[in-house]
Amino acid sequence: DAEITQSPRHKITETGRQVTLACHQTWNHNNMFWYRQDLGHGLRLIHYSYGVQDTNKGEVSDGYSVSRSNTEDLPLTLESAASSQTSVYFCASSESLGSGNTIYFGEGSWLTVV
């Protein structure tokens, strides 16, 4: 079955370190997204991509970057991790169809910055 996988599922890192969270989907979806989920804020969009070599900033993009070198992968990089980036991160993907198409989420990556 097609799926979307994230790794690592859990990570503890130190302030100032660079961290990369991987996201891989096997649906061949053009659209991929990274969200973070925090108590009191719900899910907030970090970055998104509509296809290879396309990346766009979302609502909370400061301190994060993404790259899209192929259809399947959208890695999220924290350039210099900060305690405010302790969160649960969800990758998602969807087809390039009209409104109402399903967005599929991965299982999440729990990141703690100490």
Partner 1 sequence: QKEVEQDPGPLSVPEGAIVSLNCTYSNSAFQYFMWYRQYSRKGPELLMYTYSSGNKEDGRFTAQVDKSSKYISLFIRDSQPSDSATYLCAIPINNAGNMLTFGGGTRLMVKP
| Beta pairing partners, 88 | 37, 110
CB closer to partner 1, 81 vs 89: 89
Contact between 98 and partner 1 (CB under 8 A)?
yes
C-beta separation of 60 from 37 below 8 A:
no
Rounded-to-integer distance, Cα 22 and Cα 30, Å: 17
DSSP letters for 79-101: SS--GGG-EEEEEEEE-S-STTP
* Minimum CB distance to partner 1, residue 7 (Å): 14
* Minimum CB distance to partner 1, residue 63 (Å): 21
Q: Which 17-36 residues touch partner 1, going by CB under 8 A? A: 31, 33
Reading the block at residue 44, the tokens are 């907030």
CB closer to partner 1, 63 vs 108: 108
Query: Can you give the binding site for partner 1, defined by CB under 8 A?
Result: 31, 33, 40-45, 48, 90, 92, 94, 96-108
